[in-house]
Each structure stands twice: as structure tokens, then as C-alpha cells.
Structure 1
């Protein structure tokens, strides 16, 4: 039985909020326990994100597609996989969910709820990294077999934490939510526009490459908006 529109929107809001809680909360915990070792902190943050992302895609995918990501929603709307009237509501609840997820992480760690990051992230290398990270993410979503998409997306994001200079936000909602956290995972508000633009460019390139591969084999339900193939 197909999910209703309110159910889809709730799944996107809740899923995005929990994703940001995982990313930010694990970053706070990692920074506190790593004793100043940034590599160890990043590794812990990566492992938590991989596990959390996999579970969230599996749980929320059958309801609303588990986009958790405006760039993914834009691509799916462009392909006709997400009804155009749902695009703005999807993006809206993703952004609100991302902010609430940051606040929830702060509440759990007894931090000030409302804050803004002072962590500057920018420059050509990081913008290229965000384009590459988002390109790979969207291409995996579009090309992965439906039964394996959650694992493949989580694995790709885990790898991209380490092979990209930006540690792979790959998600405008994540960039938006993380600017509300002056923590290990934060990003300064002034750095967000460059990240978002790069992410949108990467998503568009992935959609174009997927079209070029349109004659190649792809699992029948790999890009269904009701399967767990639309993530993060």
C-alpha cells in the first residue's frame, strides 16, 4: 500500500533529522574521546555515519524514498521519479529536519542548543571534492541494484569521508544543518553556499552520465521513488 504524502514528508523530515544527529553527535563524541587525534575522530565519525545511514535508508526508503538530500530530490524530480509538486515540500522538510537533528545532538551532549559553526571550509579543492562526492553518491543511487543500494550508498559515503578533501558532505541539507553546530562536524554559514553549488553541479553531472548509460543494464527498481534507493 503506497504511503500518503504526509507519511512521505514525515519520513523525509525524520530521516534527515536522524542522519544529522548521527553525523554531528558522533562527531562530538569522537572529538571528546579521541584525545586530540583528528584521524581517530574522523574514523569514528565515519563508522557511525556508515552504520546510521545504512539503517536509515532501509527503514525510511520504502516510505518516502529516503532521499534526505535536496540534490537527490532535484534529480528524481527531473527524472519524473518524484512528482514535481512534492519537490519543494521534500526540500523544505529536509532542511528543517537537518536543523532539528543538529539541535538534538547538542541536547544529548549538554551543549547550547542554538549555535553557529565557526569552522571555515572552502577553496577550490574542497569545492571540487564536494562535486566529486555528490557525483558519486547520485550515480550510485541511480545505478545500484535496488537490493544493495543501502549498503552501496553507505559504503560510498564512508569511503568519500576519506578520499575527498571536504570529508564528503554531498548533501545541501547536511551542509545547512551542520552550519548550526559549532562542533567537529560543523561548517561556517559563509562556507555553505560554495558547498551547495558544488553539490548541485555534481548531482547534475551524475544525472547526465546516468542518461549516457541509459542503454546499459540496471536493476528494474533501482530508481523507483518507493524503493530504498533514494538516499542521502
Structure 2
């Protein structure tokens, strides 16, 4: 990395804070402006996808723009980030996410600290989080393999889609799940439901890492056998 660990950690905390502030803030705004849940979800979806494109583009060159503990875990397993740095990344992401939730509350003049009462549990929700995180990690690894310049758009578009095709609205991020548990708003999740979400997210990330490791691996084919055209006649 061209940047020292301190700057990388600030980038991770700042990026995760802005991401969560966008998720929670747009959820509050959408809920206030519409009584239609579908319209509110759309108002929550578009800003989230858009901010991911911006954040990954401007902060990616500094820290890699993980903003997500399971993404950091994957790069740790791939030995693309040192263990101590990975732990520091995850801590920065969690702190940044909580700060983002508090910031959103402050902007909308809500109590800074809230505990969500929104129930998000059940096999369908857990499966949705496995699928959402699997797809996110596969998108990132596939993007790195084939179109690294397009990763901001790939991730932003994937999350935009996953908000709608997963039953959980695609948290796919333990730091975001923790932060959203501290917001009793449209984007919230009951704290007791967070551990199962995190387990599902880790499972999805590990499955994607295994699949991508096989699917994206280049085969080394044996040298072709050259037949002497004269002897072959």
C-alpha cells in the first residue's frame, strides 16, 4: 500500500461512516416523505448504491475501500492484508459505522443513541444474507480479476439490485448491521437479530471465496504437441 496504516484506517472509518449515514439518513428521509413502503425502499436504495460508487472511487486508492469486515476477512484469507492490519481495519469499520448512525440521527434531529425494534429474523432472512454477501464478494473478486477499474460501479449496482432481490434488503456487512441496530428508523435491525445476520454474512463470504478461488483460477494447459507434417503423411 502506498499509504501508511494510519491513513488507511481513517479512510476505512470515514468511508464506513459516510456509507452508514447514507443508509440511515436516506431511510429516514424516504420514510418521512412517503407512506408507501416500496417508494421508501427505493428512496433508500438509490442513495446507497450511488454513495458506494463515490466512496470506492475516492477512497479505494488509499485503503482498498473495504468498508466491510467480511471483505477484510476475505482479503486476509487471501493474504492480501496482514492479520494485524485486518483487525485494525475491522475495528475502524465498526467504529465508523456507529459514528455514521449517530451522524444521521443528528442531522434529522433524532436522539443520538437509539435501539432498533425492527424484527429481522428467520430462515428466509438468514439465507438472504448468505446470498447477498456471496454475491457481493463474488462481484468484488470477479471485478479484481477482470475489470478492476469498474469495481466502484459493479459494487454500487450489485447492492442496488440486492436491496430488491433479497428478503433482507442486503445488509451484507457486519459493521453496517451493528450500526443499524443502533437506529430505530426505517433502516434499523433489532440487536438480538444481528448475530445471526453476521454469521450468515461470514458464511456467504467464505462460500464466495471458495467458489471464486476455483472459478476464476487460470488453468495452465500443457504445451501443445507439434506433429511433424512430413512424418504424419
State the TM-score, normalized to the length of structure 2.
0.91
Partner SS state of residue 131, structure 1: helix
Equivalences, count: 216
Unaligned runs of 5+ in 1: 218-232
**Offset of residue 161 of structure 1:** 0.2
Partner SS state of residue 118, structure 2: coil
Match of 1:168 in 2: 170
Match of 2:39 in 1: 40
Structure 1 vs Structure 2 CA RMSD: 1.0
Partner SS state of residue 172, structure 2: coil
Contact 2:138 2:212 in 1 (8 A): yes
For 2:26 and 2:93, the matched residues in 1 are separated by 20
Which structure 1 residue ranges, 4+ long, deviate > 4 Å from structure 2? none
**Offset of residue 172 of structure 1:** 0.4
Unaligned runs of 5+ in 2: 220-233
Match of 2:215 in 1: 213
**Offset of residue 215 of structure 1:** 2.5
Partner SS state of residue 86, structure 2: helix
Matched ranges for 1:48-87 at <5 A: 48-87=47-86
Q: Which has the higher contact order (CA 8 A, sep 6+)?
A: 1
For 1:166 and 1:215, the matched residues in 2 are separated by 31
How big is each residue's C-alpha offset from its partner over 1:84-116, in whole Å with a ceiling of 9 and x where there is no partner?
111111110100000000000000000000111
**Offset of residue 216 of structure 1:** 4.2
How big is each residue's C-alpha offset from its partner over 1:28-67, in whole Å with a ceiling of 9 and x where there is no partner?
0000001x10000000100010111110110110000100
Larger gyration radius, structure 1 or structure 2: 2
How big is each residue's C-alpha offset from its partner over 1:101-158, in whole Å with a ceiling of 9 and x where there is no partner?
0000000000000111000101000000000000000000001111101101100000
